[in-house]
Structure 1
Amino acid sequence: MKIIPVTDPAFAPYGRVVEGYPVAGLLKALEEKTPCPEGVVYFPRLDVLHEAEDAAQIGDDLFGGMPFQFGCCNGHNTKLNCLEYHRDSEFNMGTEDFILLLAKMDDIVDDVLDTAKVKAFYCPKGVMIEVYATTLHYAPCHNDPAKGFRVLVGLPAGTNTDYRPGTGKNTLDKSLWARNKWLLAHPESGEAAEGAYIGLKGINLDIQADVPFSQR
């Protein structure tokens, strides 16, 4: 699968690189105070990230004074499995290089997205990106299996926390999987086995053969 750097113009419809913030404290907290398992783990909010140097001001600036949460998604992964979206942008930054598998909301046709529409984007370590609300995404993929990934996840407060299931009146309700989280699952995913809305068709993409990627 072709992997595209986030600095490439092709990333522009999906998100942007965010510059100008003193992120060393957040990166240090991610590296030293969060786990990196063999699988994938996600924490919507972690005090150790909110307590990091400059974290409060960065979050306040990114979200324009609205309540926010800094959590992380860490581990090892090379597969798509699902795509999700929120009503707001998400901010990501890794302690190591990582790759995101992304699609756009207008790729959804009749409530289903063909995974052939998914593109892979490479984000270097220490670079913050904004993933737009109209961009579907899910767990990061590692670029180096020896290092895995630790990726900051900045979102509006409460996102991805427990919530009542949708009423099922339409597909939008059926795909509501958590608070401010609409999920399209691949039939082969564990989420589908747990009852998530099956909204992906095609190959369950796996980039294992395509990493590590290097811009050099």
Structure 2
Amino acid sequence: MTLAALKQINPDYQILSINDPRFAQFGLVYSQYDLTEIEQWMGQNVRVDPQDNQYVPSNPALESLAMIQQIGRDVFAGMPIEAGECTGQTSDFSAIEYHQGSEVNVILTDVVMVLGKRASLEKTGQFNPRQEGLLFYIPAGTVVEFYSDTLHYSPIKVWSTGFKMIVMLLAGTNQPFEQSLNTTNQRIVKQNKFQLVHASRTDKIKQGIQVGVVGELIRLNPLKI
């Protein structure tokens, strides 16, 4: 089993199954959707870069797929949504973010998600993933909703070849502001995107993003193909 093998090469971490009861506080797994069309489209049109992460908040071709539209209606109840591909090579957890409104991920390769609760962050203004977060293994073919108070970030790859998924959110989320936003909330970095980073993320800090993830980084060893 993939999860057992992943645990074996990462003995310092407790990696939970998505079916573990503790996941219920963070989100909901959907099992009723036929992902054949989505998997075919992603296989034909989206490649995983061997070095870099890539995220497209809104891909009109992807958004036009019938099953993406169905999931959008079922989860977001008629609100305008966006869907885009997210791929990459992440092995660690160096930031947190949250949104107003749920996020849906359609998982195309096995991943690990590190999750926390916004209430933990609000107690001190900081979040220590090793102490306050939980790690969940999510297999390919899973459709999962993360509630709006769930702290999350880029998935961690399970396989050395990288990860591939679809991100669905309320339309406009993660998009740049058309004009400067007059706000006192320093966590806001894009439309409907609230983010804090670890001190190791000097690239993000140079962009003005605040430090709020503390403690030793979570870093997983991937399985080799």
TM-score (normalised: structure 2): 0.86
The CA deviation string for residues 135-190 of structure 1, in whole angstroms up to 9 with x for no partner, is: 000111111113x1111101000000002566463xxx101011000001111113
1:144 and 2:150 are equivalent in the alignment:
no
Contact 1:31–1:150 under 8 Å retained in 2: no
Partner secondary structure for residue 12 of structure 1: helix
Partner secondary structure for residue 219 of structure 2: coil
Contact 1:141–1:149 under 8 Å retained in 2: yes
Question: CA 1:101 to 1:166, structure 2 compared with 1: closer, same or farther past 3 Å?
Answer: farther
For residue 188 of structure 1, what is the aligned residue in structure 2? 200
| Superposed displacement of residue 44, structure 1 | 0.3
Contact 2:198–2:211 under 8 Å retained in 1: yes
TM-score (normalised: structure 1): 0.89
Task: Say which structure is richer in helix.
Answer: 2
> Where in structure 1 do 4 or more consecutive aligned residues deviate above 4 Å?
164-168
Letter in 1 for 2:147: Y
Contact 1:166–1:175 under 8 Å retained in 2: no
Number of equivalent positions: 207
Selected match of 2:26 from 6, 11, 14:
14
For residue 41 of structure 2, what is the aligned residue in structure 1? 29
Q: Percent identity?
A: 28
Contact 1:144–1:212 under 8 Å retained in 2: yes
Question: CA 1:41 to 1:96, structure 2 compared with 1: closer, same or farther past 3 Å?
Answer: same
What are structure 2's unaligned runs of at least 5 residues?
1-12
Partner secondary structure for residue 25 of structure 1: helix
Selected match of 1:135 from 132, 150, 161:
150
The CA deviation string for residues 98-126 of structure 1, in whole angstroms up to 9 with x for no partner, is: 11111111111321112221221111101
| Superposed displacement of residue 93, structure 1 | 1.7
* TM alignment of 1:195-214, pairs within 5 A: 195-208=208-221, 211-212=222-223
Q: Comparing 41-50 with 18-27, which one deviates more in the overlay?
A: 18-27
Selected match of 2:67 from 54, 65, 68:
54
For residue 80 of structure 1, what is the aligned residue in structure 2? 93
* Partners of 1:28 and 1:107 in 2: CA distance: 39
Letter in 2 for 1:98: V
* TM alignment of 1:74-113, pairs within 5 A: 74-108=87-121, 109-113=123-127
Partner secondary structure for residue 153 of structure 1: strand
For residue 41 of structure 1, what is the aligned residue in structure 2? 54
1:126 and 2:141 are equivalent in the alignment:
yes
Q: Over the residues paired in the alignment, what is the CA RMSD in angstroms?
A: 1.8
* Partners of 2:92 and 2:181 in 1: CA distance: 27
| Superposed displacement of residue 23, structure 1 | 2.1
Partner secondary structure for residue 59 of structure 1: helix
What are structure 1's unaligned runs of at least 5 residues?
none
* Partners of 1:72 and 1:136 in 2: CA distance: 20
* Partners of 1:101 and 1:83 in 2: CA distance: 9
